[in-house]
Amino acid sequence: MQATYDIRAPKRSANLSVNEDLLNKAREQNINLSATLEQALASALKEKQRAAWLAENKAAMQAYNDHVEGHGVFSDGLRSF
């Protein structure tokens, strides 16, 4: 499976705004902000890529499902269940 992003790419600084109370509470709990943000971004990116793939392949999946519904699958005569 293709990686969502290059995990070996160098780190880069970024400025962002975060709710002050949320930031303070995260720091009180010693939450690694950079690692947490990277995990959240990777998850969001993966979901967006998944949705794009499904949209791009919707017609092909529907055509296959229609074919199976009309003709069955090649192993229908071989299965014992």
pLDDT value of position 10? 96
Q: Which residue segment(s) compose the domain that 37 sits in?
A: 20-71
The total domain count for the chain is 1
Unique residue bearing structure tokens 């199976």: 68
Residue 54 domain-assigned? yes
Residue 55 domain-assigned? yes
Residue 14 domain-assigned? no
pLDDT value of position 43? 97
User: What pLDDT tens digit does each residue of the chain (81 aa) get?
Assistant: 678 899 999 999 999 999 999 999 999 999 999 999 999 999 999 999 999 999 999 999 999 999 999 998 888 777 776
pLDDT value of position 9? 96
Residue 8 domain-assigned? no
For residues 36 and 15, what is the distance between their CA atoms, to the nearest angstrom? 15
